[in-house]
Structure 1
């Protein structure tokens, strides 16, 4: 259970009523919910939604060089991907806490080695400044974003810590194992610590763990990465259909684009998505047909079912499908998926 619920006990009837509150009602929208005793580790948490699990790998100074490596940042989606994540999923609050005033609109300021989420006022205040405090904040943003990208890529829930083995497998999949530090690779491969040696006669020249991993990776066959951009949008200002009195409508289809949409987090809960949902209820498609593939939204199975069960209720709760499509298209162009 990923939420703390406030119980109301009716002793006369022996009934326990749970009051989850409006912000937690989505957890009870479908499927089964496990109710269990509060663990000791949550005793000091306030009533409400439990925050995502802390990721100890993000605090490991030995891994800092890995998270800040240019190849790793590129594999996670590039700086434009970081900017999108900050604006969409990083809480929506200005990260500069030393100002007494904050504007309501958010923007992103680039600062080595990444980006910082700021309000318009603080962006004007800090523009052009480069301090260690800002660099530390930008560094933490990069680390948190890379960890989030790993969770999405490996379909790991936000409530669970990422293990070193999972991080290493992500590095293998995305071809950035050479960025892993020696200590992390030794740990992942469960090699003995070089400092723990016995008799002098037992000392033999050691092979770097990174070279052992490189040899193992060379034997792994991975699918060829899709070329960038994965979809080239062609523009024909005078298509043949435009000269017909009653042109036959063509449906735009692209399996590569749908495959990319499926890799994005669910637009409702930000968990790994299961389906690319096609726009419904806005005059798109026809009898027995879908809307164009370009009008696809990443959704998890739960929210995809909820949308098809009651479109109007879904949009009142989570927002318009059109707004979601604009956000997905904006990210696709910003990341170079569409060009």
Structure 2
């Protein structure tokens, strides 16, 4: 809660008097309050409660498809969290029409969101649905997602959320696949050109979709496929196949050394423990990132290395756990 107040200054007594009114008294119930000069953008506001900062993203029609996507709603907490947010941020019926509204407030779910209604209106519209209610529910979803993204990024209520910040929240929540093409183009800073009704053939230039460019950057490094019915699984003595994946070993090489946390140089394939052997290596999945010094030290004396730094299996488990937890292995 923020307020814009006009002070009465008693200079000789060194006292400043404020008259907030009953609705603003909760502002002073938590102890100290911040006092600062009136910002230039509030010069035209009346004295009293300062409304929440305007969020232009909630008014962009091109983002509506993103906000209403089921994946985005679930990433923000789900419909139940939206209903709790509605009750926490208001105690009046959102259906503005009608002469009577009950003092008790409840929530009503619509196909694409939820809205806050009094008991009278909720009973009146039971088993009914029409565009006006749906529009209010949609607006609530949009404002709620923006508010959740702002809070998740640790911005206060006075912060205006930008499109890059919303995109970063979506990437963190793993819902970048819900980006519409127009949103992806804005996030990448691509120039927005109006669509013409007629094009010359020489003006048609093929280009990648902005959504595909973003997905290329945020997708997992490796996707594992599971096939429980391979031909070898039905053989009594199948010929073993070595699992090879250069993309994973390249990523492992870029990680910190598991012994000293300095930049690794090599993806070490586990030896011993039933792995490795004459003219063969362990699967590429069984690698540990090591710097050159510790890699040489391991091959010089495996027993001494494991006594000093721990078993190769323990080092590998720690590394593979991080790969799974960060989405590299999916």
Question: TM class, shorter-chain normalised?
Answer: 0.5 to 0.7
TM-score using structure 2 length: 0.59
Paired with 2:209 and 2:15, the residues of 1 have a C-alpha distance of 59
Tell me which of the two structures has the higher relative contact order, counting C-alpha pairs closer than 8 angstroms and 6 or more residues apart.
Answer: 1
Contact 1:73 1:79 (C-alpha < 8 Å) held by counterparts: yes
Counterpart position of 1:152: 151
- 8 Å CA contact 1:182–1:209 kept in 2: the answer is yes
Q: Would the aligned equivalents of 2:104 and 2:118 in 1 still touch at CA under 8 Å?
A: yes
Higher alpha-carbon Rg: 2
Deviations 1:152-208 (A, max 9, x none): 211121111100011000110111111111111111111233559xx9978641111
Considering only aligned residues, what root-mean-square deviation do their CA atoms show, in Å? 2.8
Shift of 1:3: 2.3
Check 1:187–1:38 CA distance in 2 against 1; reply closer, same or farther (3 A cut): closer
CA contact (8 A) 2:79 2:113 kept: yes
Q: 1:126 to 1:201 in 2, by over 3 A?
A: closer
- 3-state secondary structure, aligned to 2:100: coil
Match of residue 120 from structure 2: 121
* Aligned position for 2:4: 4
1:50 matched residue in structure 2? 50
Q: Does 1:106 align with 2:135?
A: no
SS of 1:160's partner is coil
Offset at 1:144? Answer: 1.0
List per-residue Cα deviations over 1:16-75 (Å, max 9, x = no partner): 714163233247x23x72421352x32332322211111110000000000011111111
Distance in 2, Cα, partners of 1:71 & 1:109: 21
Query: What TM-score do you get using the length of structure 1 for normalisation?
Result: 0.57
- Return structure 1 stretches of 4+ with deviation > 4 angstroms: 199-203
1:140: which partner in 2? 139
Q: Is the 8 A contact 1:113 1:135 kept in 2?
A: yes
List gaps (5 residues or longer) in structure 1. Answer: 222-339
Structure 2 unmatched runs, 5+: 223-330
In 2, Cα distance between the equivalents of 1:220 and 1:171?
Answer: 18
- Indicate the residue corresponding to 2:27 in structure 1: 24
Rounded to whole Å, the distance in 2 between the matches of 1:18 and 1:66 is 48
Could you say which residue in structure 1 is the equivalent of 2:67?
Answer: 67
Corresponding pairs, count: 215
* Corresponding residue number in structure 2 for 1:187: 186
The 5 Å alignment of 1:1-339 reads 2-10=2-10, 13=12, 17-19=16-18, 21=20, 22-26=25-29, 29-30=31-32, 33-39=34-40, 41-87=41-87, 89-194=88-193, 204-218=205-219
Aligned counterpart, 1:231: none
Is this contact kept in 1: 2:2–2:27, CA < 8 A? no
